Structure 1
Amino acid sequence: MAESFILGALRRGRSVEQFLGPCGSAERPGVRYVEVRAVNGRFEVYLHAVEDVGSEGFLDLGEFPPFDPDDEAGEFGRLLGMAEDPLAALVVAEERTGAVRRWWVNENVVQDEYGDFVRAGRPSGVSVDGRPWPDVRDFA
Protein backbone atom coordinates (compact mmCIF):
# COMPACT_ATOMS: atom_id res chain seq x y z
CA MET A 1 0.00 0.00 0.00
CA ALA A 2 1.39 3.42 -0.92
CA GLU A 3 2.23 5.73 1.97
CA SER A 4 -0.46 8.22 0.95
CA PHE A 5 -3.10 5.47 1.16
CA ILE A 6 -1.80 4.30 4.53
CA LEU A 7 -1.94 7.81 5.97
CA GLY A 8 -5.35 8.43 4.41
CA ALA A 9 -6.79 5.28 5.94
CA LEU A 10 -5.49 6.23 9.37
CA ARG A 11 -6.81 9.78 9.08
CA ARG A 12 -10.25 8.32 8.24
CA GLY A 13 -10.12 6.27 11.44
CA ARG A 14 -9.28 2.95 9.74
CA SER A 15 -6.55 0.67 11.07
CA VAL A 16 -3.61 -0.57 9.04
CA GLU A 17 -1.84 -3.84 9.76
CA GLN A 18 1.21 -5.85 8.80
CA PHE A 19 1.76 -9.60 9.12
CA LEU A 20 5.10 -10.23 10.82
CA GLY A 21 5.28 -13.99 10.49
CA PRO A 22 5.75 -16.90 12.85
CA CYS A 23 6.76 -16.95 16.49
CA GLY A 24 6.99 -19.67 19.11
CA SER A 25 8.21 -23.16 18.35
CA ALA A 26 7.23 -26.20 16.31
CA GLU A 27 5.53 -27.59 19.42
CA ARG A 28 3.68 -24.33 20.12
CA PRO A 29 3.41 -22.23 16.98
CA GLY A 30 2.23 -18.67 16.92
CA VAL A 31 2.12 -15.71 14.57
CA ARG A 32 2.54 -11.97 15.01
CA TYR A 33 1.14 -8.91 13.35
CA VAL A 34 1.32 -5.20 14.10
CA GLU A 35 -1.59 -2.79 13.96
CA VAL A 36 -1.76 1.01 13.92
CA ARG A 37 -5.20 2.32 14.88
CA ALA A 38 -6.77 5.72 15.36
CA VAL A 39 -8.15 6.26 18.85
CA ASN A 40 -9.58 9.58 20.06
CA GLY A 41 -7.49 11.73 17.74
CA ARG A 42 -4.27 9.81 18.45
CA PHE A 43 -2.66 6.80 16.83
CA GLU A 44 -1.83 3.69 18.83
CA VAL A 45 0.53 0.90 17.83
CA TYR A 46 -0.26 -2.67 18.94
CA LEU A 47 1.72 -5.86 18.57
CA HIS A 48 -0.47 -8.96 18.40
CA ALA A 49 0.94 -12.42 19.13
CA VAL A 50 -1.59 -15.22 18.77
CA GLU A 51 -1.52 -19.00 18.70
CA ASP A 52 -1.32 -20.34 15.15
CA VAL A 53 -4.54 -22.34 15.24
CA GLY A 54 -5.70 -21.45 11.74
CA SER A 55 -6.27 -23.37 8.56
CA GLU A 56 -7.23 -22.52 5.01
CA GLY A 57 -10.83 -22.41 6.22
CA PHE A 58 -10.15 -20.43 9.41
CA LEU A 59 -8.04 -17.30 8.89
CA ASP A 60 -9.55 -14.77 11.32
CA LEU A 61 -6.52 -13.78 13.40
CA GLY A 62 -8.76 -11.72 15.67
CA GLU A 63 -10.42 -14.96 16.82
CA PHE A 64 -7.18 -16.77 17.63
CA PRO A 65 -6.26 -17.09 21.33
CA PRO A 66 -3.41 -14.92 22.63
CA PHE A 67 -0.01 -16.59 22.44
CA ASP A 68 0.60 -15.88 26.12
CA PRO A 69 -2.62 -16.90 27.92
CA ASP A 70 -1.35 -15.39 31.19
CA ASP A 71 -1.10 -11.93 29.63
CA GLU A 72 -4.58 -10.44 29.96
CA ALA A 73 -3.61 -7.44 27.83
CA GLY A 74 -2.33 -9.83 25.16
CA GLU A 75 -5.89 -10.61 24.15
CA PHE A 76 -6.11 -7.12 22.67
CA GLY A 77 -2.47 -6.78 21.65
CA ARG A 78 0.41 -5.17 23.47
CA LEU A 79 0.48 -1.38 23.24
CA LEU A 80 3.91 -0.42 21.92
CA GLY A 81 3.41 3.31 21.67
CA MET A 82 1.25 6.26 20.71
CA ALA A 83 1.70 9.23 18.41
CA GLU A 84 -0.15 12.43 17.59
CA ASP A 85 0.01 11.93 13.83
CA PRO A 86 -0.23 8.84 11.60
CA LEU A 87 3.26 9.08 10.09
CA ALA A 88 4.85 9.18 13.54
CA ALA A 89 2.79 6.12 14.51
CA LEU A 90 4.10 4.22 11.47
CA VAL A 91 7.64 5.13 12.51
CA VAL A 92 6.97 3.80 16.03
CA ALA A 93 5.59 0.55 14.59
CA GLU A 94 8.49 0.13 12.20
CA GLU A 95 11.13 0.89 14.82
CA ARG A 96 9.55 -1.37 17.45
CA THR A 97 8.66 -4.34 15.25
CA GLY A 98 10.78 -4.22 12.12
CA ALA A 99 7.69 -3.59 9.98
CA VAL A 100 8.40 -2.28 6.49
CA ARG A 101 6.64 0.79 5.08
CA ARG A 102 5.64 -0.73 1.76
CA TRP A 103 4.06 -3.85 3.34
CA TRP A 104 1.21 -2.21 5.29
CA VAL A 105 -2.29 -3.34 4.36
CA ASN A 106 -5.81 -2.21 5.20
CA GLU A 107 -7.57 -3.52 8.28
CA ASN A 108 -8.41 -7.25 8.03
CA VAL A 109 -6.30 -7.78 4.89
CA VAL A 110 -3.61 -9.18 7.20
CA GLN A 111 -5.79 -12.30 7.34
CA ASP A 112 -5.28 -12.76 3.61
CA GLU A 113 -1.54 -12.57 4.19
CA TYR A 114 -1.88 -15.15 6.93
CA GLY A 115 -3.81 -17.32 4.45
CA ASP A 116 -0.91 -17.06 1.99
CA PHE A 117 1.43 -18.08 4.83
CA VAL A 118 -0.73 -21.14 5.63
CA ARG A 119 -1.04 -22.19 1.96
CA ALA A 120 2.75 -21.89 1.55
CA GLY A 121 3.30 -24.38 4.38
CA ARG A 122 4.02 -21.82 7.12
CA PRO A 123 7.57 -20.90 6.05
CA SER A 124 9.72 -20.02 9.03
CA GLY A 125 12.64 -18.14 7.48
CA VAL A 126 11.06 -15.93 4.83
CA SER A 127 7.66 -14.75 3.73
CA VAL A 128 5.81 -16.18 0.75
CA ASP A 129 7.35 -13.47 -1.46
CA GLY A 130 10.88 -14.13 -0.20
CA ARG A 131 11.43 -11.28 2.25
CA PRO A 132 12.89 -12.25 5.65
CA TRP A 133 10.55 -12.09 8.62
CA PRO A 134 11.51 -9.37 11.09
CA ASP A 135 12.96 -10.68 14.33
CA VAL A 136 10.38 -8.96 16.53
CA ARG A 137 12.10 -9.88 19.80
CA ASP A 138 14.88 -7.51 18.76
CA PHE A 139 12.37 -4.67 18.63
CA ALA A 140 9.45 -5.21 20.99
Structure 2
Amino acid sequence: MRYLTRPFAIGALRRGHGIEQFLGGVKIGGEPAIRWESISPMNGQYRISLHTVHDPDDDRVGDLANLISLDPVDEAYVGEGRELTLSEDAEEAMALAERLTDANPGRWVNHAVAGEEYMDYVGTRRNPARAT
Protein backbone atom coordinates (compact mmCIF):
# COMPACT_ATOMS: atom_id res chain seq x y z
CA MET A 1 0.00 0.00 0.00
CA ARG A 2 1.61 3.24 -1.08
CA TYR A 3 -1.04 5.77 -0.03
CA LEU A 4 -0.76 7.49 3.33
CA THR A 5 -3.65 7.71 5.72
CA ARG A 6 -4.41 11.30 6.66
CA PRO A 7 -2.86 10.96 10.15
CA PHE A 8 0.32 9.46 8.64
CA ALA A 9 0.53 12.21 6.00
CA ILE A 10 0.12 14.92 8.64
CA GLY A 11 2.66 13.15 10.84
CA ALA A 12 5.17 13.02 7.98
CA LEU A 13 4.78 16.76 7.40
CA ARG A 14 5.16 17.54 11.10
CA ARG A 15 8.34 15.44 11.22
CA GLY A 16 9.79 17.50 8.36
CA HIS A 17 9.10 15.11 5.47
CA GLY A 18 7.34 16.17 2.27
CA ILE A 19 4.32 14.51 0.71
CA GLU A 20 3.05 14.61 -2.85
CA GLN A 21 0.34 13.46 -5.21
CA PHE A 22 0.39 12.60 -8.91
CA LEU A 23 -2.47 14.50 -10.56
CA GLY A 24 -2.35 13.01 -14.05
CA GLY A 25 -1.88 14.11 -17.62
CA VAL A 26 -2.80 17.39 -19.29
CA LYS A 27 -2.10 19.18 -22.58
CA ILE A 28 -0.21 22.48 -22.37
CA GLY A 29 -0.01 24.34 -25.67
CA GLY A 30 -0.69 21.06 -27.46
CA GLU A 31 2.20 19.34 -25.67
CA PRO A 32 1.63 16.28 -23.46
CA ALA A 33 2.36 17.11 -19.84
CA ILE A 34 1.85 15.70 -16.37
CA ARG A 35 1.19 17.38 -13.05
CA TRP A 36 1.84 16.58 -9.46
CA GLU A 37 1.46 18.55 -6.29
CA SER A 38 3.77 18.62 -3.31
CA ILE A 39 3.68 19.88 0.24
CA SER A 40 7.10 20.55 1.72
CA PRO A 41 7.99 21.67 5.23
CA MET A 42 10.09 24.81 4.98
CA ASN A 43 11.17 27.25 7.69
CA GLY A 44 8.31 26.42 10.04
CA GLN A 45 5.73 26.56 7.24
CA TYR A 46 4.39 24.21 4.60
CA ARG A 47 4.99 25.11 0.95
CA ILE A 48 2.32 23.91 -1.46
CA SER A 49 3.56 23.70 -5.03
CA LEU A 50 2.27 22.52 -8.37
CA HIS A 51 4.63 20.86 -10.84
CA THR A 52 3.84 20.83 -14.56
CA VAL A 53 6.39 18.97 -16.64
CA HIS A 54 6.78 17.45 -20.09
CA ASP A 55 5.39 13.90 -20.27
CA PRO A 56 8.19 11.69 -21.65
CA ASP A 57 5.75 8.73 -22.00
CA ASP A 58 8.31 6.42 -20.41
CA ASP A 59 7.28 3.88 -17.77
CA ARG A 60 10.89 3.69 -16.57
CA VAL A 61 11.03 7.36 -15.56
CA GLY A 62 10.24 7.81 -11.90
CA ASP A 63 12.23 10.89 -10.94
CA LEU A 64 9.61 13.49 -11.84
CA ALA A 65 11.54 16.42 -10.39
CA ASN A 66 14.18 16.05 -13.11
CA LEU A 67 11.73 16.26 -16.02
CA ILE A 68 11.55 19.41 -18.16
CA SER A 69 9.35 21.98 -16.47
CA LEU A 70 6.68 23.74 -18.48
CA ASP A 71 6.61 26.50 -15.81
CA PRO A 72 10.35 27.37 -15.72
CA VAL A 73 9.69 31.05 -14.97
CA ASP A 74 8.10 30.05 -11.68
CA GLU A 75 11.01 27.87 -10.56
CA ALA A 76 14.15 29.23 -8.97
CA TYR A 77 15.54 25.65 -8.87
CA VAL A 78 14.89 22.60 -11.06
CA GLY A 79 12.05 20.49 -9.66
CA GLU A 80 10.81 23.17 -7.28
CA GLY A 81 7.43 23.69 -8.95
CA ARG A 82 5.21 26.76 -8.89
CA GLU A 83 4.41 27.86 -5.35
CA LEU A 84 0.65 28.04 -4.85
CA THR A 85 0.64 29.12 -1.22
CA LEU A 86 2.16 28.67 2.22
CA SER A 87 0.49 27.47 5.40
CA GLU A 88 1.60 27.37 9.01
CA ASP A 89 -0.40 24.22 9.81
CA ALA A 90 0.04 20.74 8.29
CA GLU A 91 -3.68 19.89 8.25
CA GLU A 92 -4.56 23.24 6.73
CA ALA A 93 -1.82 22.79 4.11
CA MET A 94 -3.34 19.48 3.01
CA ALA A 95 -6.85 20.96 2.86
CA LEU A 96 -5.59 23.94 0.85
CA ALA A 97 -3.66 21.70 -1.53
CA GLU A 98 -6.71 19.53 -2.14
CA ARG A 99 -8.94 22.54 -2.70
CA LEU A 100 -6.53 24.37 -5.02
CA THR A 101 -5.91 21.45 -7.39
CA ASP A 102 -8.75 19.00 -6.76
CA ALA A 103 -6.24 16.55 -5.30
CA ASN A 104 -7.75 13.36 -3.91
CA PRO A 105 -7.59 13.27 -0.08
CA GLY A 106 -6.86 9.53 -0.13
CA ARG A 107 -3.96 9.55 -2.62
CA TRP A 108 -1.12 11.34 -0.83
CA VAL A 109 2.25 9.56 -0.88
CA ASN A 110 5.64 10.17 0.66
CA HIS A 111 8.07 12.49 -1.11
CA ALA A 112 9.51 10.98 -4.33
CA VAL A 113 6.81 8.28 -4.60
CA ALA A 114 4.62 10.16 -7.14
CA GLY A 115 7.05 8.88 -9.78
CA GLU A 116 5.77 5.36 -9.15
CA GLU A 117 2.26 6.65 -9.78
CA TYR A 118 3.47 8.12 -13.07
CA MET A 119 5.06 4.83 -14.14
CA ASP A 120 1.75 3.06 -13.41
CA TYR A 121 -0.09 5.78 -15.35
CA VAL A 122 2.08 5.24 -18.44
CA GLY A 123 1.78 1.46 -18.19
CA THR A 124 -2.01 1.65 -17.92
CA ARG A 125 -2.21 4.13 -20.79
CA ARG A 126 -0.27 1.70 -22.98
CA ASN A 127 -2.13 -1.38 -21.78
CA PRO A 128 -5.59 -0.52 -20.34
CA ALA A 129 -5.97 -4.13 -19.13
CA ARG A 130 -3.34 -3.34 -16.43
CA ALA A 131 -5.86 -1.04 -14.72
CA THR A 132 -8.02 -3.96 -13.61
Query: Scaled by the length of structure 2, what TM-score is found?
Result: 0.85
Q: Distance in 1 between matches of 2:34 and 2:19?
A: 17
Query: Structure 1 residues 122, 36: CA separation in 2 closer, same or farther (over 3 Å shift)?
Result: farther
Equivalence for 2:11: 8
Q: RMSD across aligned C-alpha pairs, in angstroms?
A: 2.2
Match of 2:112, as an amino acid?
A: N
Q: 2:38 aligns with which of 35, 57, 63?
A: 35
Q: CA deviation at 1:54?
A: 4.5
Q: 2:68 aligns with which of 37, 59, 65?
A: 65
Query: Structure 1 residues 48, 25: CA separation in 2 closer, same or farther (over 3 Å shift)?
Result: closer
Q: CA deviation at 1:72?
A: 4.5
> Unaligned regions of 5+ residues in structure 2, if any?
none
Q: CA deviation at 1:28?
A: 1.3
Instruction: Answer yes or no: is 1:112 the counterpart of 2:116.
Output: yes
Q: Distance in 2 between matches of 1:5 and 1:25?
A: 34
Query: Structure 1 residues 59, 81: CA separation in 2 closer, same or farther (over 3 Å shift)?
Result: same
Q: 1:93 aligns with which of 80, 97, 110?
A: 97
Query: Scaled by the length of structure 1, what TM-score is found?
Result: 0.80
Match of 2:75, as an amino acid?
A: A
74-83 or 45-54, which deviates more: 74-83
Q: Distance in 2 between matches of 1:10 and 1:88?
A: 11
Q: CA deviation at 1:57?
A: 2.1
Match of 1:49, as an amino acid?
A: T
Q: CA deviation at 1:58?
A: 2.1
Percent identity, aligned pairs only, is 35
Q: Distance in 1 between matches of 2:74 and 2:47?
A: 18
Deviations 1:95-126 (A, max 9, x none): 11001211101111101000100101269xxx
Q: Distance in 2 between matches of 1:67 and 1:88?
A: 28
Q: CA deviation at 1:16?
A: 0.4
Equivalence for 1:133: none
